[in-house]
């Protein structure tokens, strides 16, 4: 039985596709919209292979309000949105800021306007820990709680904090409008999910991160080094005040992160909290050198790297304090850094061309056997 209907904007991307999978496995109907700018439609096939269910898919740009209207018109049962659609590279955002504001902020406005027209009242927003900026500028803010003041240090982070404000204003406006009309307005809700560094792949080895062009995240870059697509990893700075001089991040397995979106949506539907922000992280900080060591262990040999200058806008420590999500959502990370490295290596080693190749036959047979059980 279908428990609800969700539009997943940016649903063929890395986290979006894993969240679409988690929603289907929890008996939601899923409609994906994506421009395929940095993702592949093949993700839809992999979702179907694993779940046995195929989400509806529309190729459209999130800034195209009329195209979004059409999807809502064709699926009047959609009553929730999970919004991932965005450009997401910190370094690139400094080079083309207007494009980041056009897509990330403009696209969110178009989506929210269309939601309002079609009375779609719950939105889960894929935000980021980058909205906090350098949390070490305040005492006792590492690991970072949701009460840490917002202060992004790069364009990408500023687009995310801007969208958080827009969503908050919109939900409050809709609730106030309903109250003036003598209604509760409690159906209007938003979750702002601030997450840290997603990593890993599906343990089956047939679904993972497949960025088009150059990946911007540490582990996919390391994976490319491991299969010889890249000569070495560039480490941006070894003069931070950490145990080994490299920046500290909180890495979270993508399966745990996808589940976080599912439970946040369920919370909105059950508790009608208005606007809530939650950190989704492990609470464990790892340096860049920690990660190189962990992934090298999964691969079975040391991977080459070179230390270069820091990137503008990077900060020392982004480690989550996830206790609010632990308590209110009854959610916590269950998979380890070693799990993430093992799953990513299985994916990369066996799918060096990502979604541009068929998944290994033995993996499909294993998957089919496990679904029969």
* Residues with catalytic function: 156
- Please state, in angstroms and rounded to a whole number, the distance separating the CA atoms of residues 72 and 119: 10
Give the separation between CA 191 and CA 79, rounded to whole angstroms: 15
CA distances from 153 to 80, 89, 160, 300, 323 (A): 31, 13, 12, 37, 25
Question: Residue 245 — left, alpha, or beta (φ > 0 → left; ψ -120 to 50 → alpha)?
Answer: left
> Crossing angle of helices 14-25/254-271, nearest 10°?
60
- Cis before 367 (ω within 30): no
Cα distance between residue 219 and residue 154, in whole Å: 21
Interatomic CA distance for residues 21 and 43, integer angstroms: 10
CA 300 vs CA 221, 244, 331: distances in Å: 17, 22, 32
Confirm if 341 and 222 have CB atoms less than 8 A apart.
no
Calculate ∠ Cα 38-133-235, nearest 5°. 60
Asked whether 201 and 209 are in contact (CB, 8 A), the reply is yes
Under 8 Å between Cβ of 193 and 264: yes
């Amino acid at each position: 039985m279908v428990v609800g209907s969700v539009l997943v904007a940016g649903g063929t991307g890395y986290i979006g596709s894993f969240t679409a999978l988690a929603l289907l496995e929890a008996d939601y109907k899923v409609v994906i919209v994506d421009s395929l700018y940095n993702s592949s439609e093949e993700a839809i096939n992999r979702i179907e292979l694993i779940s046995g269910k195929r989400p509806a898919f529309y190729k459209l740009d999130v800034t195209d309000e009329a195209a979004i209207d059409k999807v809502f018109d064709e699926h009047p049962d959609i009553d929730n949105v999970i919004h991932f659609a965005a450009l997401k590279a910190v370094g690139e955002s400094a080079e083309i800021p207007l494009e980041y504001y056009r897509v990330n902020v403009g696209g969110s406005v178009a989506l929210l306007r269309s939601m309002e027209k079609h009375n779609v009242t719950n939105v889960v927003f894929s935000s980021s820990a980058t909205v906090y900026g350098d949390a070490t500028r305040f005492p006792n803010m590492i690991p970072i709680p949701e009460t840490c003041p917002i202060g992004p240090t790069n364009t990408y982070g500023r687009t995310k904090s801007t969208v958080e404000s827009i969503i908050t204003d919109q939900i409050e406006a809709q609730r106030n409008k309903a109250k003036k009309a003598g209604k509760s307005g409690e159906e209007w809700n938003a979750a702002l999910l601030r997450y840290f560094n997603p990593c890993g792949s599906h343990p089956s080895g047939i679904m993972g991160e497949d960025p088009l062009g150059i990946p911007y995240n540490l582990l996919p870059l390391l994976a490319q080094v491991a299969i010889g697509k890249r000569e070495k990893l560039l480490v941006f700075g070894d003069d931070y005040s950490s145990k080994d001089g490299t920046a500290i991040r909180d890495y979270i397995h993508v399966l745990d992160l996808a589940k976080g979106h599912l439970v946040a949506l369920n919370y909105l539907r059950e508790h009608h909290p208005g606007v809530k922000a939650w950190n989704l992280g492990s609470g464990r900080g790892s340096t860049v050198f920690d990660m190189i060591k962990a992934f090298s262990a999964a691969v079975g040999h040391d991977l080459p790297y070179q230390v270069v200058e820091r990137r503008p806008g990077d900060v020392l420590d982004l480690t989550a304090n996830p206790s609010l999500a632990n308590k209110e959502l009854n959610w916590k990370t269950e998979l380890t850094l070693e799990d993430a490295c093992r799953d990513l290596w299985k994916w990369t080693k066996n799918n060096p061309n990502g979604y541009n190749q068929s998944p290994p036959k033995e993996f499909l047979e294993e998957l089919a056997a496990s679904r029969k059980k």
